[in-house]
Amino acid sequence: MLSTQDLIITLATDLASKHVPIPALIKLIDSAEKPDEVVSEFDEVGDGLVHLLLSRVNEDEDEIITFVKKYSASLDLNRQTETGETALHVIAKKDLAKLSALVLSGELQFASKPNLYAKNESGKTPAEMAGVLSKDLFKEVMQDDFIDRVVLVTSFATDSVFSYLMDNEYATVVWTESGDPDARASVIKAIAEKSGLIADDGTVGKHLNFAETLYDKSFVDRPHSHWTWNHLCHPNIGGAWEDALIAVIDPLTSFQNVEGIVPYDTTIMGPHRLSGQSIILVPNDAVAALTKRLKEEGSFLGTIQGYDPSVMTLRQALEKAMKTHYPKAATLFNHKAGNVNLTKITKSTAGYFGYDFSYGLFDELFMQFEGNNVPLMRGRATISLPAYREYSQDRHVGLHSGSVSDIEKNTILLHLKEVSIKPEKLSEKIPYLIGKEGNKEISKLCTVEAYKVYKKLHQYSEETGAHDYAEYLLKKAIIADFRAYHYQVDAKEPALDSIKLKQMVDESFEGLVAALEKITRHGADLTEYRATMAETYTKILTPPKSTIVKEGVKFSIWTEEPVQLPAQLQRELEHDQSANPKQTVEEQPSSQDVQVFV
């Protein structure tokens, strides 16, 4: 049995002078006292063993796979040639699909983890050199790796939460001995005891459940929560979070309904239930109460972690939590600001750090991890990283104010918001609702405007949750139209209840959408839309024949005064009776001597 040193000399001589088949190479290496040590030391010679095998013409891919599998722990695929190529570059360039799949699977433990982001002298990564057979695999692996590098962070600004408490939850406000409100203590108490910001099951934005609130007297015009990547939000003209005491962290992999995807403002459509990997960072004096509500009495899956605000800032607590619990997460870096999470920015220092205070974003961002410095983004919406660009497809990239879902200041939909929250103001909003009758200015109708937004939201991927909000918004407008229709039939009648409204919307939605398409695309009038509403309205509010009285008389839906049946309905009733002569009627005592089918 040869010593390690003797075998290395033999290997070097044989491989330099002749083609040694891989099976013979394996046999020779295994004859050593310590085969792995031989591979490890020989791999440091020249460009390394894998480069050597890959450079040989017509080498069998399956035999290379056998070699790599056997000695992976001793092989370093990150060794670079003079042109900067790693073994992964060569594997990608040669389009060795099976070997690519093995190396990228994570199944093998190498001497060092293969670097997906290594660049050759031309500035290209292995993924950018991949051939036809392995291109999609590299793209998928790169995107998965990118997603694994991102954790989303949201925080609750003390002044914002405190203002809400003063206006809506006055009993929660904590007062000092001198009689002044204590904003810090009030916010901590509210987070710990109240379910408004974080629900008992660990859901953020629970009020954004569109289906559950569709028929309520409410209106959602900000349908998402806002998160940043791997850092605490910096101040901008919209507010400041530097004094925030509580932050929530959850990996991007745990989120559904990601609509907007930028590091400075990622928007999550609808509610998000925090995952088992999530962390809620709170001051130490809030841990016990929050643990009781969310863990002992609730069903929160993640971790509640305390910190001492007198010792560290929330930024520092967040940095520590990310390093400890999310070791794969990247550090967001700017050449002027450094680690952006640890950089405190004010309006006066923003320019020095390359930060646009008006819009709340850095001029350029990089992701730093495992020795890599990967360009991520420039400005508001210029993506530098291909995997990020791929993930962003059919999502919103840029400022939230440019998103289709940003409808808070839409003047037409503000009318819809008002009438949805306060249906009693219906009469004031008739000009903006289609209703039963009346000349309308099409461009100012709530339903027409809602349909335009509906169509644009459908340009986003269904995975963003935008389609759910689109349906919610359009149905809210249709609900308002049915209320207007009913009001125009008889303003003195009681308003339609939620059950009837739901029946009407469910029955007519597809037909009304088709009519709206003709109105917005082809300039059609309101005739078809109103005809569909009329048919649905009559159908839902007409009792089934089993409750209709004999002799052409029935009770009114709204009063106990008998009224005459429509002629067509009377004929249908008489036809049904003649076809079923054995059908009986039960006499019902009544001052009007009414008979009802049972």
Condensed to tens digits (0 to 9), the pLDDT of residues 472-528 reads 999 999 999 999 999 999 888 889 999 999 999 999 999 999 999 999 998 889 999
Residue 334 lies in a domain: no
Condensed to tens digits (0 to 9), the pLDDT of residues 166-222 reads 877 877 888 888 888 888 888 888 888 888 889 999 999 999 999 999 999 999 999
Counted domains in the chain: 3
Distance CA 310, CA 296 (A): 28
Shared-domain flag, residues 417 and 525: yes
CATH number, position 26? 1.25.40
Q: Write down which residue in 326, 357, 383 finishes a domain.
A: 326
> How is 409-449 classified by DSSP, letter by letter?
T-HHHHHHHHHHH-GGGHHHHGGGS--SSS---GGG-HHHH
Residue 568 lies in a domain: no
Which pLDDT does position 567 carry in this prediction? Answer: 53
Shared-domain flag, residues 430 and 529: yes
78-82 contact pairs (CB < 8 A, 24+): 78/112, 78/114, 78/115, 78/118, 79/43, 79/47, 79/48, 79/50, 79/51, 80/47, 80/118, 80/120, 81/47, 81/51
Residue 362 lies in a domain: no
Shared-domain flag, residues 126 and 93: yes
> How is 234-301 classified by DSSP, letter by letter?
PPBTTB--TT---EEEEEGGG---EEE--TT-EEEES-EE--TT-EEEEEHHHHHHHHIIIIISS---
H helix and E strand count, the chain: 22, 20
- Would you tell me the crossing angle of helices 35-42 and 4-17 to the nearest 10 degrees? 50
Condensed to tens digits (0 to 9), the pLDDT of residues 117-129 reads 999 999 999 999 9
Cβ(188)–Cβ(286) below 8 Å: yes
Rounded to the nearest integer, the mean pLDDT of the chain is 89
Domain that holds residue 533: 411-541
- Would you tell me the crossing angle of helices 135-148 and 97-104 to the nearest 10 degrees? 10
Q: Write down which residue in 497, 520, 541 finishes a domain.
A: 541
Which pLDDT does position 580 carry in this prediction? Answer: 59
Residue 147 has pLDDT above 60, yes or no: yes
The backbone region for 95, taken as left when phi is positive above 0, alpha when psi lies in -120 to 50, beta otherwise, is left
Confidence of residue 89 (pLDDT cuts 50, 70, 90): very high
Shared-domain flag, residues 18 and 90: yes
Residue 182 lies in a domain: yes
Strand partners for 152? 229, 250
Condensed to tens digits (0 to 9), the pLDDT of residues 19-77 reads 778 898 899 888 888 889 889 988 888 888 899 889 876 778 999 999 999 999 999 99
Distance CA 89, CA 235 (A): 42
Shared-domain flag, residues 210 and 301: yes
Shared-domain flag, residues 109 and 166: no
Shared-domain flag, residues 163 and 304: yes
Shared-domain flag, residues 114 and 189: no
- Would you tell me the crossing angle of helices 61-71 and 35-42 to the nearest 10 degrees? 110
Distance CA 181, CA 173 (A): 7
Cβ(22)–Cβ(64) below 8 Å: yes
Shared-domain flag, residues 321 and 270: yes
Residue 357 lies in a domain: no
Shared-domain flag, residues 130 and 169: no
Residue 36 lies in a domain: yes
> Residue holding tokens 């040590």?
37
> Residue holding tokens 């990967």?
374
Residue 473 lies in a domain: yes
Shared-domain flag, residues 128 and 231: no
Residue 354 lies in a domain: no
Shared-domain flag, residues 178 and 261: yes
Q: Write down which residue in 302, 326, 350 finishes a domain.
A: 326
